[in-house]
């Protein structure tokens, strides 16, 4: 039986690393793609009030629109996409995905019912499922391990920047379009302001799809000698054996980061409405305020996470990505309690949310860096897709939905949105911190084992 961690590495693994300048150019393009993906994904958060009014929806239905149609199909498509990315051009896969999700975002603007908007959101999820597994795999072939966490952190910064811009630009765009009233589009008909906003945000992504084609597909590194001749079924079997051998590491790692994703998406989807309902501010004002917090503090947190992991690595901590995540996850619950239960005004709530966004963004890019550190090349997209599958089903799919469920069916009071957000943040963050702490020793053991086997493969080759 084939051992997924044995065999001589291919000759490609000996190729020199690309120039740092070009490697960072690739990260820059993927960073832009990440911004656009999250802009298209999260623009719906700024239009909750408009969509609720026009389509007569409850909080629970709005939670469903923000979570499951995107998250579930994003997760389901990650598996075949990972198999494709591990064998064929990752660059081309990303370009096709960007074009697909851009058109699907524009199609959200043509929806006139809950079902139509639900289906269009599925399309966004299917298209965006191409980006992260392929980007993780590409970046890992452009950077050595000593710089990988920083590169991943920069790529992940696009997530937070995209969400921040969705709130900032979405607020400004919706305000501008609302002042024009209903608009008539050729061959489409009359669109409400929120519908036209979807169209305006979605279609420019087609230009980015063309820009992605300027990326050169890199040499695949750390491959097994017989990887090129192994079929998809055999590769999946080998990946299954690899996961089984490192089940404690992957179980705790994926479980803890999935909880953090759930918290993050609950906040992204509902904080604007929390500010509107708790303090009576206008939706565009609340969106702009929270957008500034996410853009500045969320982006800074993602970058800081990569930097902190690098510093811990230089200090000799082989578990640096997880250690950095643990240090910044522990204080999340008290910060969230201040923001959602004790803030006397919108301004103070935003002040309390700033450290929440900064600390919560730190682990965002480190999950990928941790998994890629202990995963052979031909399994990296599959490892990323497994993480995305779990984090999408539970994190994206349940995060916004649970908040809507709490306000609609548990509290039976939509004004208790702050309490619902506090429940999710203050229960979830401590559980995630405990799981990360327990994962440290298992991660170090997995890393040592994989590195030892890599040395043996190189000596045998």
List the beta strands (DSSP E) in 209-264: none
Q: Do residues 179 and 36 lie in contact, with contact meaning Cβ atoms separated by under 8 Å?
A: no
| Average per-residue pLDDT for the chain | 82
pLDDT single digits (tens) 22-75: 989 999 999 889 888 888 887 887 788 888 888 888 888 888 787 777 777 877
Rg (alpha carbons) of the chain, rounded to whole number:
22
**81 contacts: CB under 8 Å, gap ≥ 6:** 93, 97, 129, 130, 133, 134, 381, 385
Pair of tokens at residue 77 = 């498509």
d(CA 220, CA 324): 28
CB count within 10 Å of CB 337 equals: 15
Give me the pLDDT at residue 318, please: 84
> Is a pLDDT exceeding 80 seen at residue 201?
yes
pLDDT single digits (tens) 81-118: 777 777 778 889 999 999 999 999 999 888 888 888 88
Give me the pLDDT at residue 183, please: 65
Give me the pLDDT at residue 231, please: 56
Give me the pLDDT at residue 223, please: 54
Q: How many CA atoms lie within 13 A of 248 on its CB side?
A: 11
Domain boundaries, the chain: 15-222+230-460
> Is a pLDDT exceeding 80 seen at residue 12?
no
Global pTM reads: 0.72
User: 148-152, 223-227, 431-435: which has the highest mean pLDDT?
Assistant: 431-435
Report the percent of the chain where pLDDT is more than 90: 21
> Is a pLDDT exceeding 60 seen at residue 230?
no
pLDDT single digits (tens) 362-415: 887 687 778 777 887 667 767 777 887 888 788 777 888 888 889 988 988 888
CATH architecture, domain 15-222+230-460: Up-down Bundle (1.20)
Give, in order, the Cα–Cα distances in Å from 115 to each of 42, 55, 61, 111, 171. Answer: 19, 10, 11, 8, 25
Q: Do residues 305 and 81 lie in contact, with contact meaning Cβ atoms separated by under 8 Å?
A: no
Give me the pLDDT at residue 11, please: 40
Give me the pLDDT at residue 344, please: 92
Give me the pLDDT at residue 454, please: 62
> Is a pLDDT exceeding 50 seen at residue 452?
yes
List the beta strands (DSSP E) in 50-203: 183-185, 189-191
List the beta strands (DSSP E) in 216-318: none
Report the percent of the chain where pLDDT is more than 70: 89
Three-class secondary structure assignment of 122-148: HHHHHHHCCHHHHHHHHHHCCCCHHHH
Distance of CA 151 to the CA centre of its chain: 15
Q: Which of 361, 352, 354, 332 is nearest to 431 (CA)?
A: 332
User: 148-157, 221-230, 241-250, 327-336: which has the highest mean pLDDT?
Assistant: 327-336
């Amino acid at each position: 039986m084939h051992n997924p961690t044995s065999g001589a590495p291919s000759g490609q693994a000996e190729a020199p690393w690309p120039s740092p300048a070009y490697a960072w150019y690739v990260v820059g393009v993927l960073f832009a793609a990440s911004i656009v993906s999250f802009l298209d994904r999260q623009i719906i958060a700024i239009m909750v009030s408009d969509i609720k009014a026009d389509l007569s929806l409850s909080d629970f239905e709005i939670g469903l629109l923000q979570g499951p149609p995107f998250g579930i199909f994003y997760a389901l498509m990650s598996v075949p996409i990972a198999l494709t990315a591990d064998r064929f051009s990752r660059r081309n896969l990303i370009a096709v995905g960007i074009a697909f999700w851009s058109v699907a975002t524009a199609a959200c603007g043509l929806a006139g019912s809950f079902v139509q908007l639900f289906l269009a959101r599925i399309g966004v999820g299917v298209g965006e499922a191409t980006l992260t597994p392929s980007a993780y795999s590409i970046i890992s072939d452009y950077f050595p391990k000593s710089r990988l966490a920083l590169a991943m952190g920069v790529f992940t910064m696009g997530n937070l920047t995209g969400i921040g811009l969705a709130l900032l630009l979405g607020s400004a765009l919706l305000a501008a379009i609302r002042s024009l009233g209903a608009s008539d589009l050729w061959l489409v008909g009359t669109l409400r302001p929120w519908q036209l906003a979807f169209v305006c945000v979605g279609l420019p992504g087609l230009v980015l799809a063309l820009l992605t084609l300027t990326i050169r597909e890199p040499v695949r590194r750390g491959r097994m000698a017989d990887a090129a001749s192994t079929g998809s079924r055999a590769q999946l079997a080998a990946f299954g054996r690899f996961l089984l051998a490192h089940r404690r590491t992957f179980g705790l790692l994926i479980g803890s980061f999935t909880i953090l994703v759930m918290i993050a998406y609950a906040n992204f989807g509902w904080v604007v409405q929390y500010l509107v309902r708790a303090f009576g501010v206008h939706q565009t004002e609340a969106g702009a305020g929270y957008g500034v917090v996410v853009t500045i503090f969320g982006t800074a947190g993602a970058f800081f996470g990569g930097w902190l992991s690098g510093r811990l690595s230089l200090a000799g901590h082989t578990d640096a990505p997880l250690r950095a995540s643990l240090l910044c996850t522990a204080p999340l619950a008290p910060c969230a309690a201040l923001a959602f239960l004790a803030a006397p005004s919108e301004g103070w709530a935003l002040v309390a949310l700033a450290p929440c966004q900064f600390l919560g963004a730190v682990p965002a890019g480190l999950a990928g860096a941790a998994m890629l550190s202990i995963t052979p090349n031909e399994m990296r997209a599959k490892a990323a897709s497994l993480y995305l599958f779990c984090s999408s089903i539970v994190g994206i799919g349940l995060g916004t939905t649970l908040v809507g469920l709490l306000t609609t069916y548990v509290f039976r009071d939509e004004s208790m949105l702050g309490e619902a957000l506090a429940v999710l943040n203050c229960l979830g963050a401590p559980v995630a911190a405990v799981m990360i702490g327990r994962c440290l020793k298992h991660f170090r053991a997995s890393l040592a084992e994989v590195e030892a086997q890599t040395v043996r493969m190189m000596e045998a080759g």
